[in-house]
Amino acid sequence: MKTMKVAMYYNNNDVRIEEQPIPTIGDSELLVKVKASGICGSDVMEWYRIKKAPKVLGHEITGDVVEVGRNVTKYKKNDRVFVSHHVPCFTCCFCKNNQQTLCHTLHTTNFYPGGFAEYLRVPEINVDRGVFLLPKTMTYEQGVFIEPLACVVRGLKTAQMKKGQTVLVIGSGISGLIQIKLAKAWGAAKIFATDVEDFRLQAAKKFGADVTLHAKENVPEQVKKHNDGRLADLVILSTGALPAVQQALRSVEPGGTILFFAPTEPGVEVPFPLFDLWNKQITMVSTYAGSPEDINTAIGLIASKKVNVYDMISHTLPLSEAAKGFHLVATAKDSMKVILKP
């Protein structure tokens, strides 16, 4: 029995390199050799991940098709691919209403065992609607950004971002940095960014933020100071920190929109000034994941270089150093995108 190395997650401080059998595939499945796999901020949300531990995580992957089931005709051996872990059914009421990321099937599908492995098995439903050929000019490392960029694409579309708006990104982790890049590409007039770490504020400035603010500042007043007395038309909450939620509520212009991109832990209740939000006619929306359409949009943005992603890669590590990678992302002090290469 041939085996492979995997990075098994027990908790943020306990990620072990273990061996598992290389998956066997069915007639309608694919076997993909993972070439690059990004560590997502959600991978280190311990309250979210630990209940399913031990588990092989990883969903931002690119690789090569190395084995093709006899019933598969769309893909062939050696195809370079991005594989989506979550895929919709396309038939439920949510899918028919263009709300694919609410689809029950999307929330229950996945590839096996996870992206932090040398190989993964792609189930039939993912083969049917979750495998995307990488453009010839796109590297495996660039392809790692397809999934997180697709999530951001869906978020900005859900928030109905318009050209010429003022955008405030609260939290300049990797998702916040991608939001800055996409907001700039889509014509934001002015972009503000906040964080608690100077390293990330410097990155936000480098990637397109016009004004960067330490999260402990009076952010609403600073936005008005640098925006002709106006608050932000669109506030994107990219952190689950409770003070940031209150900051978002105070930073949005009348008639503006707050996009809740990052969650709090389950059960956390946030009080908000209903009268003020009602009186200011504020729209509040949330977003989760990306649809196949969003993935195609993300591939186009990266391939056309409308969104450059290379400069967001801060660390590239072998799979054997997965524990180091998790530490870098969990501590969130001097890393942006951390990529593992099995």
Domain chopping of the chain, boundaries: 3-146+290-341, 160-286
Please report the pLDDT score of residue 30 as a whole number.
98
CB 234 within 8 A of CB 168: yes
CB 37 within 8 A of CB 58: yes
CA–CA distance, 93 with 85 (Å, rounded to integer): 21
Mean pLDDT of 144-166: 98
Enumerate the β-bridge partners of residue 82: 62, 132
Model confidence at 265, in pLDDT bands (50, 70, 90)? confident
pLDDT of 164-196, one tens digit each? 999 999 999 999 999 999 999 999 999 999 999
Q: Is 223 helix (H, G, I), strand (E, B) or coil?
A: helix
Mean pLDDT of 250-257: 97
Q: Does domain 160-286 match CATH 3.40.50.300?
A: no
First to last CA, the chain: 19
pLDDT of 212-228, one tens digit each? 999 999 999 999 999 99
Token look-up 């041939």 returns 2
pLDDT of 76-119, one tens digit each? 999 999 999 999 999 999 999 999 999 999 999 999 999 999 99
CB 318 within 8 A of CB 191: no
Superfamily name and number for 3-146+290-341:
Medium-chain alcohol dehydrogenases, catalytic domain (3.90.180.10)
* CA nearest to 140, candidates 82, 76, 68: 82
3-state secondary structure 85-136: CCCCCCCCHHHHCCCHHHCHHHHHCCCECCCCECEEEECHHHHHHCEEECCC
Other beta carbons within 10 angstroms of residue 308's beta carbon come to: 14
